[in-house]
Amino acid sequence: MEKEILNMDEAAELFGVSIKTFIKLLREEDVPARKIGREWRFSRTALIDWLSKGSSKMYSSSEQDVRQFFEKIADKWEEISSGIYDHSIINKLIDSGLLNKDMTVLDYGSGDGFISRGIASHVGKIIAMDMSGSMLDELERKAKQQGIANILTVECEESEVPLRDGRVDMVCASMILHHIKYPEEIIQEFHRVLRPNGILFIADLLPHDDEEFRINMHDYHSGINPAELEHWLLDTGFGSIGIERLTDMGKEKKNIFVLTAIKAERV
């Protein structure tokens, strides 16, 4: 017979999520629960009833706003993005010596293929993943014009990585984390799909106070704090973390950092 009164671990297992995710749910949602002393207790029946009364529309509106924004500006993204960052990101990745012709690379949040097209000649295969079909159409069009044939495009939902475990040698996440509500959760997905000793390459905006820019670009965050990101990576199982601020960006562009990390092998 199933237990009716659950502790934290059992409630998280019932929902099929990690303890960390379940604690975040407790903080952000009106989850039926009681705290007895220092311990949380939950009713299985109440949790299932609460879950059954939820609506996906409560969570999808902001994601749809972001998707619709990028669908609309896909054919203009190259011009828009050139005012934010330049090829310094690609140059940094190529000059790092991390790329090789045998690699399978996941370019997550690929957009029109800025990274994918920039490194295509240096790697074996690229899986370009984005939530905007129009952006992926632009990527395919530009790749064809450039004679690039080793990029596979995959449309996904926000914070979703529809790949099997240990599928890729490198994950590139360029200018995407500040668009994601919970970046720490996508970090866990990157760790999952990387092979042991796989490489994570991140480029993103440093924290800024340009609220108008954040709103206009449909960003969840005003940049990403590298120290906080490093903490998430260490907690997830990454090591050998290197962080560098790009200093050769144009005066009109945002301040950007790049980060590399390695998925540690299990002992």
> What tens digit of pLDDT does each residue of 91-138 get?
999 999 999 999 999 999 999 999 999 999 999 999 999 999 999 999
> What average pLDDT does the segment 27-41 reach?
89
When pLDDT is cut at 50, 70 and 90, the band that residue 206 belongs to is: very high
Phi, psi of 78 (to 5 degrees): -60, -40
> What average pLDDT does the segment 191-203 reach?
97
> What average pLDDT does the segment 136-165 reach?
95
| Cα(258)–Cα(205) distance, integer angstroms | 9
Q: Which of 70, 169, 80, 61 is nearest to 110 (CA)?
A: 70
Q: What are the domain boundaries of the chain?
A: 5-52, 62-263
Question: pTM of the predicted model, to two decimals?
Answer: 0.77
> What average pLDDT does the segment 153-168 reach?
93
Tell me the two tokens of residue 60.
Answer: 């999808």
- Residue 258 exposure: Cα atoms within 13 Å on the Cβ side: 20
pLDDT, residue 63, reads 62
CB 194 within 8 A of CB 171: yes
pLDDT, residue 21, reads 80
Write the CA distances from 100 to 119, 123, 130, integer angstroms.
10, 5, 23
When pLDDT is cut at 50, 70 and 90, the band that residue 248 belongs to is: low
Q: Which of 219, 78, 186 is nearest to 139 (CA)?
A: 78
CATH number of 62-263: 3.40.50.150
pLDDT exceeds 80 at position 142: yes
CB 34 within 8 A of CB 11: no
